[in-house]
Amino acid sequence: MFDALSTLLSEVFSPSISVFLISMMPIAELRGAIPIGVTLGLTPMNAAIIAIIGNSIIVPILLLIITPLFTRFKKLKAFRGFFTRYEERAARKIGHYREYRLIGLFLLVAIPLPMTGAYTGCVAAVITKISFKRAAPAIIAGVMTAGCIVYFLTDIVHTTWFVH
């Protein structure tokens, strides 16, 4: 899926813009954008910086729109099940961290595993009723940490196997 997405975007946009856009998409976020950026010819550092910026920009927007968006979609029968399950899954993930609130929210986003990025962090913040003013910095710090981890892993793979 990501190969097709990166190919499509790279045919329309520059590698930098492609990485920026991919980092703003759910599921891929910066975890997918950094390695894709390297495959498109960016250095791991450039890909990481662009992906961190793109993934961070989406955080305040998500924090502001999640509640009204989920409320509206849960009223529609076709989407009710999906959004209810998504909220429940986010609540289960944050449940382990609930005792620590902001540190837990930071860790949820910072550890680069599937379904633990900025989108899930924003949903978890809304579900646990963490204020925008407190949640946004914790989530963005998590994005920056995850970006550094993915950068280092991508750089190690890139220099070990692809740079001679």
Global confidence as pTM: 0.85
Task: Kindly give, in sequence order, each residue whose CB lies less than 8 Å from that of residue 44, ignoring residues fewer than 6 positions away.
Answer: 34, 37, 38, 151, 154, 155, 158
Q: Residue 140's closest CA among 112, 114, 124, 117? A: 117
pLDDT tens figures, 50-76? 999 999 999 999 999 999 998 898 898
5 phi/psi in degrees, rounded to 5: -65, -45
- Which amino acid is located at 32 in the chain? G
Q: How far apart (Å, rounded) are the C-alpha atoms in residues 53 and 37?
A: 14
Looking at the 3D structure of the chain, how many domains does it have? 1
Q: With bands split at pLDDT 50, 70 and 90, how would you rate the model's confidence at 145?
A: very high
Q: Which domain holds residue 131?
A: 2-162
User: Would the pLDDT of 164 be above 60?
Assistant: no
Tens digit of each residue's pLDDT (9 = 90 or more) over 82-137: 888 877 877 777 666 666 789 989 999 999 988 889 999 999 899 888 999 999 99
pLDDT for 2 equals 61
What is the C-alpha to C-alpha distance for residues 158 and 65, in angstroms, rounded to an integer? Answer: 37
